[in-house]
Structure 1
Amino acid sequence: MNYGNRQWVIPALKSASIYALVGGLWILLSDKALDLLVTNHDTYTMLQTWKGWFYVLVTALLVFALLSKYLKQSFDQKESIRLSQERLAFALGAVRDGVWDWDLTTDEVYFSPGYTAMLGYEDNAGFTNINSWQDNMHPDDREHSLEVSKDCIEGRIGHFAMEFRMRTKDGGWCWILGRGKVVAHDHTGRALRMVGTHTNITHQKRVEHELRTLRNSMENIINSMPSVIIGTDRDMQITQWNRSAEMLTGAPAKLALGYRLTDILHLPEELTDSITQAVTHGEALELTQQNLLGDASRIANIFVFPLKNEGITGAVIRIDDVTEQVQMQQIIVQTEKMISLGGLAAGMAHELNNPLSGILQSVQNIQRRSAEDLPANQNAAQNVGLDLKAMHDYFRDRDINRFLDGIQSSGQRAAGIINNLLAFSRSSDSSLAPCSVPDLLDNAIALAESDYNLAKQYDFKAVHIHREYEPNLPAITVTAQEIEQVFLNLLKNSAMAMAGEPTPDKEPTITLRTSSDGPMVRIEIEDNGPGFPDGVSKRLFEPFFTTKPPGEGTGLGLSVSYFIITQNHQGQITAETAPGGGARFTILLPQAKPGPQGVAAQRE
């Protein structure tokens, strides 16, 4: 394949032609000159001999000059080729690349020793044609590689660089970066020769795979974190955006990356200024209990961690939604207040019980010691000259007996209220026991009837209670005080809602329904009040959500009730607007397991 090895013929023919022309002119002109100038035969013969020797000498000198020049050029070219080949060998040896030279007219290919060495062979080992390359290529890479080579041969691309796998001597696979281009064409433009290199990139591919695996692992870790993780450069351009950030903002990572943080994350202005200053100056920053995205219902802790590498290169911003933690802390504080209030109520009940007991005992003694049929009363009256019959006529005429009955009745009612208050405020041991649902509802009603608040302008005794209890309803296994607390909260909410928006032509009514529902017991508490505004029923059980005016509710009652039903008793509680208007709460609680206690609770 020594293309161009006859390029010396044309210059040689030109030189020979010039030499022949000059030689012919020399002979012709010299003979004419001798014929005109020399008449002596001997002299003529001698000059002809000298002329011949002169011509031979000139020819020899000319041939020597030409041969010396040619030989020097040939030597220089060979030395240059040798040095180039040596440099190429050294370069290929240094980079451990392989060279191939493909004669497209014969399909013969020259493969350099480095080419076969990277595949584990000590010599060419039969690598002589294009099939040697194709047969050792990975089947999954063969079609694409042949198409790229064909595109280059047919002139659709000027050169190529592609990656593929080749089988090594030990049966493994070696990743190759192949480069090549056509270097010779015939007069019609048909490709005649293609050369290129192969570079072993197995280690590079392995490192790329490890880096890709590490990156995927890090992304999975970052995306699995509940915290919002955002990476930025010094100019606040977003470089990292995890899944929690997508969920918080609704912006996917593909959209957020490359944008300024302030264009995607719309924080309050003072927060944005603080974060920007921290990132710009490379300062750590911690902002606790901030309103998240300007939404007062969501609370977050924000941390800024600067990234420094020979200067400030950016920052990592972590945003933790601590709304539930803050709400739980507030619930704990509120619960502690309620516990303290319960203790205070229990103490007051005990203190009230003492004078109330004295009042009831005194009334009972008055009634007993004024009775006409007791001998002791008759003797005492006779001793002081009192007519008991006349005294009783006086009591009747002045309604004193009715007043005494009223004192006793009111005292007994007050005693019942205090006993209920003591039972409700008494610390619960959270013990589960079979209980009758109607009894729990009636107890809650008795508690609610003692609640009268002029400031809230409602009186539960003014509410009509309509009971629809299923006969022989199965008992439920619950902590009685907790369930009574739930019922009491729902009853009071209904009474307050109906008092807040009274309807002149409707009597405030609360309907209580109980029924069996498979393995559960269904309890419905429904009122005929205003019901729920649109969209409110979905948020009723969120902590601190309330529809009451400011100062009239903590927003914890329903959330605590939800926790008691769902977490403590594995039940369900839902809220909806009743078909005829008004609010309806539905509670499902598991039935008590069959047994003597369950039967007893059912009978009660």
Structure 2
Amino acid sequence: MNDQPNDFHDREAVKLERLELALKASNEGIWDWWLDRPEIYYSRRILEFLECGKKNAPNLFQPPYPSIHPEERHRFELAHTQALQTNGPETLAVDARVLTGGNNWRWLRIRGTVVRNREGQAYRIAGSMIDISLRKTAESQVEDERFLLRQLIDHIPVHVYFKDLKSRITMANKAMAMWMGFKEGAELIGKHDSDFFDEDHWKPAENDERAIIETGASVTGQIEQETWHKGGETWVMTSKFPWRDRHNQLKGTFGISS
């Protein structure tokens, strides 16, 4: 038969153990800091994050914040300082890389609730920390891939563009921008072919894009004559395709021309 807690301290110990088990399952740990004391309480899970024991665990919230990565230190200090202001925010929320006892940088999502006296002065902060290193690594990889793709798009010698369901440009590469008389693709966002071309060109082009949206059929290797508002004519070979997002939802069309 299991032993039952028979006094207040036993019951509190059981509650704390249950809380820590639940937090461990979610990869979270709890922390508690009374501001008039230099030491801080970390649960076992946070000590695992920090790769250290109770005796050598750093108080992450003590200036000059040596355990916080230099790139996040200013933002961390700002969030901490604001939380300590009289009648300041009720919560502390910041993500930062933290130097562990194993000399590794680990991304932690730090959340806390600020406890204040009647005068609005903070005297205690308690909350949770969760290791978000894997997610941050994945986000960084996605950003790197996006950067590489953007470099490729901006340096290939063909015009690349995406248009929404109303044939308005949502993205264009540098070659496309220069062809249209601009320096950067961002300057074309929101533009329609009717902003540049006579109706005898932009109307058939828009009809093609509507057909692609309705049928899902691509147009490839089509020769088009562009008649410009500013005067003059140019010829391009164009291929257009349905644009779908990663959830297979139709967003518009995209194409290349040269």
TM-score range, shorter chain: 0.7 to 0.9
The structure carrying a bigger strand percent of its residues is 2
The AA in structure 1 aligned to 2:240 is: V
Separation in 2, partners of 1:261, 1:229: 15
1:142 aligned to which of 62, 73, 97: 73
- Indicate whether 1:166 and 2:104 are aligned: no
CA contact (8 A) 1:101 1:109 kept: yes
Give the Å deviation of 1:227. 1.3
Give TM-score scaled by structure 1 length.
0.37
Partner in structure 1 of residue 185 of structure 2 = 253
Question: Residue 257 of structure 2 is aligned with which of 304, 310, 319?
Answer: 319
The one of 280, 283, 305 aligned to 2:217: 283
Counterparts in 2 of 1:42-121, with a 5 A limit?
A: 81=12, 84-121=15-52
Kindly state the Cα deviation for residue 211 of structure 1 after the two structures are TM-superposed.
0.9
* Aligned-partner residue type, residue 126 of structure 1: N
Deviation at 1:132, TM superposition (A): 9.9
Superposed CA offset, 1:551-575 (max 9, x none) = xxxxxxxxxxxxxxxxxxxxxxxxx
Q: CA deviation at 1:311?
A: 5.4
Matches within 5 A, 1:414-425: none
Number of aligned residue pairs: give it: 244
Q: Percent identity?
A: 20
Q: Aligned runs of 1:219-234 on 2, under 5 Å?
A: 219-234=150-165
8 Å Cα contact 1:236/1:279 also seen in 2: no
Name the SS for the 1:203 alignment partner.
helix
Which of residues 293, 297, 300 is equivalent to 2:236? 300
CA distance in 1, matches of 2:204, 2:119: 74
Asked whether the equivalents of residues 136 and 166 of structure 1 are also in contact (C-alpha less than 8 Å), the reply is yes
SS in 2 for 1:305: strand
1:192 paired residue among 123, 134, 146: 123
- Deviation of 1:312 after TM superposition, in Å, equals 3.5
Residue correspondence of structure 1 range 232-381 to structure 2 within 5 A: 232-251=163-182, 252-257=184-189, 259=190, 261-262=192-193, 266=197, 267-286=201-220, 288-294=222-228, 297-308=233-244, 310=248, 312-320=250-258
Say if 2:20 and 2:43, in contact at 8 Å, map to a contact too: no
Q: 1:277 to 1:107 in 2, by over 3 A?
A: same
More moved, 123-132 vs 200-209: 123-132
Structure 1 residue 80: Cα displacement? 7.0
Q: Distance in 2 between matches of 1:305 and 1:174?
A: 43
- Which one scores higher on RCO, CA 8 angstroms, separation ≥ 6? 2
**Matched residue of 2:65: which SS?**
helix
Return the alpha-carbon distance in structure 2 between the equivalents of residues 99 and 307 of structure 1.
45
State the distance in 2 between where 1:94 and 1:275 align. Answer: 50
Following TM superposition, by how much is the alpha carbon of 1:141 offset from its aligned partner in structure 2, in angstroms? 3.2
Amino acid at match of 1:246: A
2:227–2:233 Cα contact (<8 Å) kept: no
| Whole-angstrom distance in 1 between the partners of 2:39 and 2:50 | 19
C-alpha distance in 1 between matches for 2:10 and 2:152: 62
Cα distance in 1 between the residues matched to 2:58 and 2:144:
39
RMSD: 3.0
TM-score relative to the length of structure 2: 0.80
Q: Determine helix, strand or coil for the equivalent of 1:134.
A: coil
Show the counterpart of 1:176. 108
Deviations 1:162-204 (A, max 9, x none): 2222112221211222222312x22332211111222222222
1:237 is displaced (CA, Å) by 4.5
CA 1:75–1:233: 2 relative to 1, 3 Å: farther
**CA separation in 2, counterparts of 1:271 and 1:135?**
59
- Offset at 1:287? 5.5
Q: Distance in 1 between matches of 2:41 and 2:174?
A: 54
Does the Cα contact within 8 Å between 1:134 and 1:142 map onto a contact in 2?
Answer: yes
Structure 1 contact 228–242 (Cα < 8 Å) conserved: yes
Structure 1 residues 86 and 247 mapped into 2: Cα distance closer, same or farther (>3 Å)? same
How many angstroms does 1:81 deviate by? 4.6
Distance 1:245 1:75 in 2: 77
Mapped to 2, the partners of 1:176 and 1:119 lie a distance apart of 10
Cα displacement string for residues 454-484 of structure 1 (whole angstroms, at most 9, x for unaligned residues): xxxxxxxxxxxxxxxxxxxxxxxxxxxxxxx
Structure 2: runs of 5+ lacking an equivalent: none
Uncovered stretches (5+) of structure 1, i.e. residues with no partner: 1-73, 321-604
Post-superposition offset of 1:131: 4.3
SS in 1 for 2:154: helix
C-alpha distance in structure 2 between counterparts of 1:136 and 1:192, whole Å: 23
| 1:494-515 Cα distance to aligned partner (Å, 9 max, x none) | xxxxxxxxxxxxxxxxxxxxxx
Instruction: Please say which structure displays the higher CA radius of gyration.
Output: 1
Contact between 1:282 and 1:314, CA under 8 Å: does it hold in 2? no
